Amino acid sequence: MKKTAWFWIIGVSLVILLACGGFIGLGLWAANTFGDDGTMGIGFGDAIALIRVEGVIVPGEAPPPNLFSANAGEAYSQTIIDQLERANENDNVKAVVLFVDSPGGSVFASDEIYLQIAKMEKPIITSMGSLAASGGYYVSAPTDEIWASPHTFTCSIGVIMQMVNVEEFAKEYGITAVVIKSGQFKDIGNPFREVNEADRAILQSLVDEAYDGFVNIVAEGRDMTVEEVREIADGRICSGKQAQELQLVDNLGYLPDVIERAAELGDIEGEPRVIEYSYDGSFFESLASTLYRPSPIEELREVLHFNAGSPLMYLYIGQ
């Protein structure tokens, strides 16, 4: 086959690929822009807003949606905050359902979401999925009511900080880490040396401080005393049924039950309209995200960046 023919084939293939990507990006953009409660939304009438906290809770904003990935496994705090703000400002929304299916995650990100929930001016109810533990419970605590399945895994009220120590491994393979620091504790958590008692005291104080905050949030949200919460805030996991017995859950039921209850609180007659928010990426953001594929090195860098610094976590790790 002549080179000219090959060039034509390659050129036509690229045009088709770009056209497909363009249509996909345009579809995603149109769905976000013209969909219910978008900038130019056409929905009308009283509604319930459904906001999802699904996956590990992490800081920041979700990347634009694309055909090849759905950000599965992560609940981005800023995205959830933006959705809560939109629900609060939408006159058609009479109540909010927060669907939580999460093992928790970052202390920082969980608290960001909590602070926005505390600002809500409309009734807001939590519907727990299969797992709403630790940070998943933290963001649920300030809502007006908490509903769980009898089989939901929840509770796990506590804080965890994990670090890896490879000192013995390094010695075995002749690896030496050279550390030059400005102060005694500058390399606290260094994986190439053992955590000493002084290090442990500092780290424990951080964990204790975050734990006290968690206990206070639960006590306030559940109308319990701090002492009552501390008795059960030992990190234990419990079922939805057990959580109800411990006064950590109000009712047992599933998402349709919670939507019906939210409609009652919002004084909506009949079957409520449900608005579910999504990321409002521009057309070009959606298109670029659809066509872009990160390299394995970039994906590894993101993982290492998230785990850098041994952050405090409201996280159930028993999955």
Active-site amino acid positions: 134, 186
* Radius of gyration, CA atoms only, the chain: 24
CA distances 183 to 173, 188, 202, 207, 253, Å, are 28, 10, 14, 22, 54
Task: Decide: residue 311, CB within 10 A, 0-12 exposed, 13-18 middle, 19+ buried.
Answer: middle
Query: Both tokens of residue 124?
Result: 């807001």
Q: Work out whether strand 124-133 and strand 273-276 pair parallel, antiparallel, or are unpaired.
A: unpaired
**Is 125 within 8 Å of 250 (Cβ atoms)?**
no
286 and 29 Cβ atoms separated by less than 8 Å: yes
Beta strands 273-276 and 313-315 are unpaired
Partners of residue 313 on adjacent β-strands:
106, 160
Of 187, 188, 192, which is closest to residue 168 (Cα–Cα)? 192
